[in-house]
Structure 1
Amino acid sequence: MKKVKFIYNPFSGENLILNNLDTIIRLYQEKNLQIIPFRISLDTPLERSFIDIDETYDHILAAGGDGTINQVVNLMKSNNLDLPLAVLPVGTANDFAKLIGATSDIEENCRKILNSTPKTVDLGLVNDKYFIKLVKNTGDFSCEMN
């Protein structure tokens, strides 16, 4: 069974993710994917979420706002992780998620992620920090960074 690292920020937006955890797990289990959760907190550095990621992982699912997604992208690069990144927008602005056509409906977004093919997005670097950019809306919800 393939695994998915599920990194979520319970403080993003209005704590939207907390009421949807069971739905996310159920949808992933239906696709025979095992969710390995990591809850972002002040007490546990986000870097620890990447310790166990190996070839048994299918993708990383990040739930949070633009700041969370940015941190995950930078940690993926610093850990040389070449996995697709799926985004669940639960922050305030969610600029990148809006560009890929995500809505505020967590279940709908999960279904789209689980039924999509990863698309390549641009990866930029400014002052030693990475950022992702979408040149054109592909309608897919998971991405590979180039």
Structure 2
Amino acid sequence: MGKLALMIYNPVSGKKRNHKYTEILLVKLKEIGYKVTVNSSNEWKENEEAIQEACKDHWDAIFIAGGDGTIKSTLQCLAEQNYRPTLGIFPFGTSNEFAKFIGMPSNLMEVLSIIKKGKTKKVDIGKFGNRYFANIAAGGWLTDITYKTPTVLKTYFGEFAYCLYFIKAILHGKQSNKISIRVTPKKELSDLSNFIIMNGNSVGPLESLITNTTPLDNGYFHLLTCKKTNRIRLFFALFAKMLHLTETVAPLNYYKIKSGSFSTSENVIVNLDGDQVDVDNMEFVVLPHHIQVFVP
């Protein structure tokens, strides 16, 4: 009968040129032994039901042909199942941060080769409030860029579109200064304008923000925080960080955390894996080794 797999396909994800390979991917997956059922519904409820069935019946794999937003949406259902099939990521999105994090190439034929070899690894994911994320959780000033950047710009310019919107936001956006984070019972960070929790070491076009990264399965995430500051000073601080001119750049601070309690006296929107989300509380925790993925 072969191996059973579900494919969650997002037909409107970022890189339009990849979509023409969808039928080829299905043929190739069949050739390497997978019987694939495709779900591409705009009604996410239908995708959730398909994921639940795949988990209940112990299917072998769930393939995601989409970007980080599609992975995040899949995790909301998958993370709460007792049995979770192995995830295979076909990077169809704009940034594909999680695919980069686990080492998946952008070339789809290379991804197929990796899946055929069958090597897998368990990786950590995060939980923020009642929602799950694979790559980043962020809040405060400048953290709305991924979902406020117009789709048409992302379609034609890819990650460079985020750079254009970032310049606009840093010149005209309103800074927040009401965020506090308790990272240990004795340590609280206060008067922050934003925060980013990262599973990997990059955010969109800002690559290698953290230089001394740790393995995929160490139970910690990276936390970058920033206090309210002069806009130009922040711009050059980020620039210096990107170029690795120095490990510590004021007003940016770095920590490793496995949990944290966040509070704010104003309405701070939370960004999970590139999308604006509502959460029922501001508690963060790492879920170690929670999902299994195909890796090179």
TM-score scaled by length of structure 2: 0.43
Task: Verify the 8 A CA contact 1:23 1:107 in the aligned structure 2.
Answer: no
Between the aligned partners of 1:56 and 1:81, the Cα distance in structure 2 is: 7
RMSD of the alignment, in Å? 2.4
Among all aligned residue pairs of Structure 1 and Structure 2, give the percentage whose two residues are the same amino acid. Answer: 27
Q: Which AA in structure 2 matches 1:15?
A: K
Task: Verify the 8 A CA contact 1:3 1:35 in the aligned structure 2.
Answer: yes
Q: Deviations over 1:93-130 (max 9, x none)?
A: 11111112223211111211221321010122111112
Where 2:79 maps in the other structure, the secondary structure is: helix
Matches within 5 A, 1:6-85: 6-42=7-43, 45-53=46-54, 54-55=56-57, 57-85=59-87
Q: Which AA in structure 2 matches 1:2?
A: K
Summarize the Cα distance change of 1:16–1:76 in structure 2 as closer, same or farther, 3 Å threshold.
farther
Task: Verify the 8 A CA contact 1:70 1:130 in the aligned structure 2.
Answer: yes
Summarize the Cα distance change of 1:120–1:130 in structure 2 as closer, same or farther, 3 Å threshold.
same
Between the aligned partners of 2:9 and 2:18, the Cα distance in structure 1 is: 8
Where 1:57 maps in the other structure, the secondary structure is: coil
Between the aligned partners of 1:41 and 1:19, the Cα distance in structure 2 is: 19
> How many angstroms does 1:42 deviate by?
4.6
Q: Which AA in structure 2 matches 1:5?
A: L
Task: Verify the 8 A CA contact 1:8 1:17 in the aligned structure 2.
Answer: no
Poorly superposed stretches of 4+, deviation over 6 Å: none
Between the aligned partners of 1:78 and 1:17, the Cα distance in structure 2 is: 30
Where 1:102 maps in the other structure, the secondary structure is: coil
Between the aligned partners of 2:70 and 2:24, the Cα distance in structure 1 is: 21
Higher mean C-alpha displacement, 111-120 vs 5-14: 111-120
Alignment: residue pair count:
141
Q: Which AA in structure 1 matches 2:126?
A: G
Between the aligned partners of 1:57 and 1:16, the Cα distance in structure 2 is: 29
Q: Which AA in structure 2 matches 1:82?
A: R
Between the aligned partners of 2:128 and 2:44, the Cα distance in structure 1 is: 28
